[in-house]
Amino acid sequence: MNHVWQRQLADLVSLRKLTGRRFVIGVPFVWLALTFLLPFLIVLRISFAEIENGGNSFGNLLSFADGILSIKIKVANYLFIARDDLYALTYLSSLKFAAITTLLCLVIGYPFAYFMARARASVRPALLMLVMLPFWTSFLLRIYAWKGILANHGIANHWLLALGLIREPLHMMNTWFSLVIGMVYAYLPFMILPLYANLAKMDMRFLEAAADLGATPMQVFWRITVPLSKSGIIAGALLVFIPAVGEYVIPELLGGPETLMIGHVLWDEFFTNNDWPMASAVTVVVILLILLPLTIFNKYKAEQGERV
């Protein structure tokens, strides 16, 4: 009898553990469904809809009358995006500036993260605070500050003239240079933090073994440190690249006519042209472009898990 009760108690405990595990796993999926999947489906539905009643409503995609189910999907917006060179150039421009921003953040952020990970444990919290300190200030104020720095009569030109490096002010505002500077400044912490997290937990015995086998410090860095920090590099690159593609505020404040990005096009379609189906179609294409690097990252993580 005792064995029966023990077996039932064990089954009950196992059931509770399984239920708790499903609950813990299910909550994030429900949250993602509510915050991403549901809005995406709404935007997808609008992108295939026809504007009716003077732009106050959208036509139904499905209709049922006289026993006939009709599906009315408008693909003209996607065809227009595929045929119009302006949208193609805008997408390419957004991807280009996002890639440049990601590369510069990696080049600048990796030495920062490496130094933080190799610093004394007592100093690391202060270094982390310095990295996160810009987030304590309004994003708009930080970007507006660059307007005062890069203006024709701003701080940068003032110091360059005072040092005698230039004879007349340089035109840096409203150019690709000011755009890249602003985006790198804004997204640099998103590269440093995952790199630091990866480098801080790296097993130092691999580095010591390589040094004992006669590898130079540079060889140890390129052959051991960089490969072991690959997951941190990919995570940081995604955290920078994905939001940089759809950035609107920085191109609007610091960019110029030659720095057109898809975020500005989305704003114009939604609020200037009031063409929500067209804007939704542009949004869907942007999301698909962003999902591509995410898919590559997930594939890499799965392959890495299989190797381990």
Q: Which of 131, 98, 49 is nearest to 262 (CA)?
A: 98
Give the mean model confidence (pLDDT) for residues 240-262. 86
Tokens linked to 83: 């045929």
Q: Are strands 68-71 and 57-58 parallel, antiparallel or unpaired?
A: unpaired
- Cα 186–189–190 angle (5° rounding)? 95
Residue that wins the pLDDT comparison between 33 and 24? 33
Q: Which of 255, 254, 251, 257 is nearest to 266 (CA)?
A: 251
**Which pLDDT belongs to residue 119?**
87
Which pLDDT band, with edges at 50, 70 and 90, does 195 fall under? Answer: very high
Q: What is the DSSP string of 93-142?
A: HHHHHHHHHHHHHHHHHHHHHHHHHHS-TTTHHHHHHHHHGGGGS-HHHH
**Which pLDDT belongs to residue 109?**
94
What's the CA gap between 230 and 239, in Å, rounded?
Answer: 14
**Which pLDDT belongs to residue 256?**
78
**Which pLDDT belongs to residue 43?**
85
Of 5-14, 188-197, 262-271, the one with minimum mean pLDDT is 5-14
Give the mean model confidence (pLDDT) for residues 274-294. 84
Give residue for tokens 């507006």: 144
Residue that wins the pLDDT comparison between 256 and 155? 155
Which pLDDT band, with edges at 50, 70 and 90, does 9 fall under? Answer: low
**Which pLDDT belongs to residue 18?**
55
Which pLDDT band, with edges at 50, 70 and 90, does 7 fall under? Answer: low
**Which pLDDT belongs to residue 219?**
86
Would you call 263 exposed, middle or buried from its count of C-beta atoms within 10 A (0-12, 13-18, 19+)? Answer: buried
Give the chain's mean pLDDT. 82
Segment 225-243, tens digit of pLDDT = 888 888 899 889 989 998 8
Of 57-71, 79-93, 148-162, 253-267, the one with minimum mean pLDDT is 57-71
pLDDT at 54 over 60: no
Q: What is the DSSP string of 82-94?
A: HH-HHHHHHHHHH
**Which pLDDT belongs to residue 302?**
65
Segment 68-87, tens digit of pLDDT = 766 777 888 888 888 888 88
Let me know: does 69 contact 81? Beta carbons within 8 Å: no
What's the CA gap between 181 and 33, in Å, rounded?
Answer: 35
pTM above 0.85, yes or no: no
Give residue for tokens 């189906």: 277
Q: Which amino acid is at 85?
A: D
Let me know: does 220 contact 202? Beta carbons within 8 Å: no
Of 12-26, 122-136, 175-189, 229-243, the one with minimum mean pLDDT is 12-26
Tokens linked to 198: 């990866």
pLDDT at 57 over 80: no
Let me know: does 259 contact 97? Beta carbons within 8 Å: yes
Q: Of all residues in the chain, what percent carry a pLDDT higher than 70?
A: 83
